[in-house]
Structure 1
Amino acid sequence: MLLEFTEKGIYCPPAKVYIDPWRPVERALITHGHADHSRWGHQYYLSTKTAKPVIRHRLGPIKIETVEYGERRNINGVNFTFFPAGHIIGSAQIRVEHKGEIWVVSGDYKLEDDGISEAFVPVKCHNFITECTFGLPVYKWKAQEEVFAEINDWWRKNQEEGKVSVLSAYALGKAQRILHNLDASIGKIYTHGAVENTNEVIRKQGIALPDTIRVTPTIPKKEYPGSLVLATPSALGSPWVKKFGTTSLGIASGWMALRGARRRRAADRGFVLSDHADWDGLNQAIADTGAERIFVTHGYTDIFRKWLEEQGYEAHVVSTEFEGELTEMKESSEGEEDNE
C-alpha cells in the first residue's frame, strides 16, 4: 500500500516520510498543532504556513518547513498536497498521490465553517483515513450561530446577576473560535494564561481576536463581576476559579451532548460545541471523497466501521495514538504554570 500503519505512525515508504507520527522519526508531515498530532522529537517537520507558529510555540526550536494550502510538494516521486480541514487554524488534510493511487489523511476535521479556521475542503481519493471522535448518531451539532447566541445570553444573564461567567475551552482552537464569535460588547473578557499565550501566537500571525485581559494576581477581585473568563478545562474545580468570587461555570464541548456530562463536570451550563465533525459531518465528508476504502483511526471505531460496512464501504479500524478531543483537554493544561 502507498501508506502503511506502523508502530511509529502512518508511513509512506516511497517518500520515506511519516504523517502525524507518534514516535520520533526523521521526516514528519503534520496535519495540525494539537499534541496528539504534532509531537516533539522529529528531525524535520512540514506543516501549513498558518500551523507553524503554534507548532513551534508548543515544541520549541524545531526544524520546520511550510507549504501553502493547495501547493504540491514532491518528495521522492510522491506528491503531497495540504487542504483545509476546518478543525483549527492551520489544520490540514494531506493528499498523497503516487502512480495513480490517491490517499487522504484527514487528521481531525469539521465541516462547519467557524469563521476563523480555514474552511474544510472535500478531497477526492481512493482511500480515506478518518477520525470518528463523535461517530454515533446522538452527536448532531446545532448551527454555531445558535450555540453562540446561547453563550452570549448566558453571559448577559450572569452579568445582570453580578456573576462572573467562567467558560471552559481548550487553549488551542476552541478558545480562539469562541473569542471570534462572542459578542465582545457585553463586557470584559479575561483569559487563563495558557489561553492567552496561544492568543498571542495567533495575533502575531495577523489574525484578529477581540481584546482580552490575562488573569494575574494583581487584578482586584472587584474587577471581575459581569465579565467572562475563558479558562482551560483543567482550571475548573481548581483554586484558580475561587479568585473570581460568585461564578457561573460553563463548558463548551461536544461531550455536552451526552446526558449527565455537564453534571459530572459540576458545570452550571453545557454548550454543545466541538471542533470535530458530528455524525452527519463524518458521513458527508466520507461520501464526498468518493473513496472505496475507509480507515477509521480514533473515536467510536468499531461501531462506526460496522456502520460504514453496512453502507457498502470497505472499512477498517486502525490502531493509532490519536485521541481527538480527549487529548485536546490534556493539551489545554500545557502552560498551567502561568495560571495565576
Structure 2
Amino acid sequence: MPGNFHIDPWRPVERAVITHAHADHARFGHARYLAAEPGVGVLLSRLPGIDVQGLAYGEAIVVNGVRVSLHPAGHVLGSAQVRVEYQGRVWVASGDYKVEPDPTCAPFEPVRCDTFITESTFGLPIYRWDSSREVFDGIDAWWRHNAAQGRASVLFSYSFGKAQRILAGVDAAIGPIFCHGAVEPLNRAYREAGVALPPTRLVSEIAAKDKAAFKGALIVAPPSAQGSTWMRRFGEYSDAFASGWMRLRGTRRRKGVDRGFVLSDHADWPGLQLAIGATGAERVIVTHGQIEPMVRWLCEQGLDAGAFKTEYGDDAVEADSIVDTAGSAA
C-alpha cells in the first residue's frame, strides 16, 4: 500500500496517524501527526510542540492515493479507529477501544471492512464488566462511608481517560474533589474539548500540614502515587484502585489497597466479540493483549486470523502502570 504513513508507530516516521494519546500509541519524534480533532488538545498536552493535524470523525482525506478516515473508538477522548481504503479493499485499525457508553468520549462506531486489526487486552472469558453505573454506585458508597467517618478517599486510576471518566461518573455532591498534578492538566484538556467534569482542585493547593482539608474528600491520583511520601498529607484515608485488572483477586491483593473497583476503558470478552463481529471482516489481526486465545477463538469462528508483533500495551511505557505483565492502560 503506497500511502507512506504509519499508524501508531513506535519509531520516528515522516507521517504518523495516531489512534489516541496514551504513551504506548503516541510518541515523540514524528515529523507530522494526524489525529481525531476531539483529541488534539489531549495529544498536545502530552506531546507539546508537535505538528498535528486534526481530522473530524468520518471525514476522509486522500494520502498518496490512499483514502483515510477516523472513526470513534470509545476508548478515551479523541480515540479513533483508522479506516484505510485502497483499490477497493478496506482495512480498519482499531487502536484501543470499548463498546460501553462513556460520557467523556464519542461512542465506539462499528466500521465495515475486509480486514480488522484489533486489540485484545482483556481477551479471555473471565473478563466481563458490570455496568459502569453499578461500578460508580460502588465508588460513591465507599466515598460516602469514608466521608461519614472523617476519612479521605484516595482513588488510584490512570491519569488520562480513566480519571476523567471517574470524575464524570461519581456523585460530586458527596464532597470536594482533589486531583494529583498528573491528572489536573488532562482535566483541563477535557474541559476545553467540551467534556463536562465537576469542579476539582489540585492537591498541591492545600498546605501539606492541613490534613483537615481532605476529610471527606475524594482524591484522584495515578498509581505511581501509591506508597509515596505524597500520600502523607491526607491524614487518615482509605485507598482504592479502579482498573479492569481488579477483576483478578491476585492483582487486588498485590496492589495492597482497601478496595478494588473493576472499571476498564477496554472492551471485555463479550465486547471484543461484539465489535469484531460488527465489522463483517473476513480477516482479523490481533496486535496486543491476550493474543493467542483470541486468535484461537477467531479461527474457531471460521475467520482468517493472525497476529502482528507490536510494542503496544506495555505498561512500562506508562509511568502510572499497574501490573508488570498485563496490557495497556486498563
Select between 167-176 and 200-209 the one with higher mean Cα deviation. 200-209
| Equivalent in the alignment of 1:8 | none
> 1:170 touches 1:328 (CA, 8 Å); kept in 2?
no
1:197 shift after superposition: 1.4
Q: Which of residues 115, 134, 143 in structure 1 aligns to 2:122? A: 134
Task: Work out the percentage of aligned pairs sharing the same amino acid.
Answer: 52
Contact 1:30 1:37 (8 Å CA) reproduced:
yes
Equivalent residue for 1:253, pick from 224, 238, 243: 243
2:111 is aligned with 1:123: yes
Q: Which one of the candidate residues 272, 288, 292 is aligned to 2:278?
A: 288
**Equivalent-residue separation in structure 1 for 2:190 and 2:15 (angstroms):** 26
SS class of match (1:116): coil
Q: Distance in 1 between matches of 2:221 and 2:73?
A: 25
Deviations 1:54-102 (A, max 9, x none): 1111111111111100001111111111000000011000100011100
Q: Deviations over 1:100-119 (max 9, x none)?
A: 10000000000001111100
In 2: Cα distance, 1:176 partner to 1:332 partner = 17
For 2:36, the equivalent position in structure 1 comes to 48
Letter in 2 for 1:115: P
Matched, 1:305 2:295: yes
- Distance, in Å, in 2 between the alignment partners of 1:179 and 1:147 is 13
**2:31 maps to amino acid:** Q
Contact 1:293/1:314 (CA < 8 Å) preserved in 2? Answer: yes
SS of the residue aligned with 1:243? helix
Q: Which runs of 5+ in 1 are unaligned?
A: 1-12, 334-340
Out of 92, 102, 121, the residue aligned to residue 104 of structure 1 is 92
State the distance in 2 between where 1:230 and 1:103 align.
38
Q: Equivalent residue of 2:234, what SS?
A: coil
CA-CA distance at 1:25 after TM superposition: 0.1
Note if contact 1:85-1:118 (Cα within 8 Å) is conserved in structure 2: yes
Runs of 4+ in 1 over 6 A off after TM superposition: none
Q: Give runs of aligned pairs for residues 161-200 of structure 1, distance below 5 A.
A: 161-200=149-188
- 1:127-276 to 2 correspondence within 5 Å? 127-216=115-204, 218=207, 220-276=210-266
1:27 aligned to 3, 11, 15, which one? 15
Deviations 1:114-140 (A, max 9, x none): 111100000000100000000000000
SS at match of 2:26: coil
Q: 1:175 to 1:275 in 2, by over 3 A?
A: same
Deviation at 1:206, TM superposition (A): 2.9
TM-score (norm 1): 0.92
Task: Give the drift of 1:148.
Answer: 0.3
List runs of 5+ in structure 2 lacking aligned partners: 323-330
Q: Deviations over 1:259-306 (max 9, x none)?
A: 121110011000000000000000110000010111001001112111
Q: Deviations over 1:278-335 (max 9, x none)?
A: 00000110000010111001001112111111111111011001016x36753579xx
Deviation per residue, 1:176-229 (Å, 9 max, x gap) = 000011100000001000001111222222322100010115262111111110
CA distance in 1, matches of 2:318, 2:243: 10
SS of match in other structure, 2:6: strand
Q: Distance in 1 between matches of 2:197 and 2:91?
A: 35
Q: Could you tell me how far apart the structure 2 residues matched to 1:175 and 1:280 are? A: 24
Q: 1:31 touches 1:107 (CA, 8 Å); kept in 2?
A: yes
Partner in structure 2 of residue 337 of structure 1: none
Q: 2:172 aligns to what SS in structure 1?
A: coil
**Contact 1:171 1:332 (C-alpha < 8 Å) held by counterparts:** no
The residue that corresponds to 2:328 in the other structure is none
Give the paired residue count: 320
